[in-house]
Amino acid sequence: MRKQRHRLSLTLQQLGEASGVSVGYLSQVERGRATPSLGTLSQIAVALQVDVSFFIHTPKTQDSLTRAAERPRFAVSGSSIEYEKIGADFPGHELSSYIMNVPPGYASEEVVHEGEEVIYILEGEIAQVVDGGEHIMRPGDSLHYLGSSPHSWSNKTDRPARVLWVGRMQYEQAAGANRIRPNEGAVATAFASSRP
């Protein structure tokens, strides 16, 4: 992240303004002291004029079929959450989709962005907060919400969880956009997707 920021001759302050992420949190991310959620990483990617894959190095898929044995798996640097990419990166695609393997005790920061998300619980239990309302979600439960609603999630149990996340996130720079900034005091121990 720091190399790309320097390549664009951006200060942390300028990156913060462009991404809607606080300078303090960006500094923690650059020093490896915080692990951003996929949503926050996407905001940073747009501000740095790169795709989110710039940070997570997922292989490009040439077609829309992803075989289970060939599913790309990756983790954001410094995170113990494993992502399994189930969507393809073909020209013009708008949706992203992942299976997130979420360790016990993980809690994301609160974010807001354009687009929308759908989460479906495959295994375990996730506490999803949207617009201040908490939903305890178990296998088979799903939730569809707008990214413009402040949202966060956590695994408050002592067991891992698996979550299917599908979303469309567009981080266009709009004048006067009101963005929620990550809680600088909450450094995630891991991130599992949704995403987003």
CA 66 to chain centre: 21
Give the tens place of pLDDT for each residue, 60-72: 555 577 788 888 8
Cα(137)–Cα(126) distance, integer angstroms? 5
- Walk me through the domains of the chain, giving residue ranges and CATH numbers: 58-168 (2.60.120.10)
Q: Which residues contact 92 (CB under 8 A, 6 or more apart)?
A: none
Q: How confident is the model at residue 176 (pLDDT cuts 50, 70, 90)?
A: very low
The pTM score is: 0.61
**Collapsed DSSP state (helix, strand, coil) of residue 24:** helix
Give the tens place of pLDDT for each residue, 141-161: 999 999 889 999 999 999 999
The one-letter amino acid at 108: S
Over its C-alpha atoms, the chain yields an Rg (Å, rounded) of 16
CA 134 to chain centre: 19
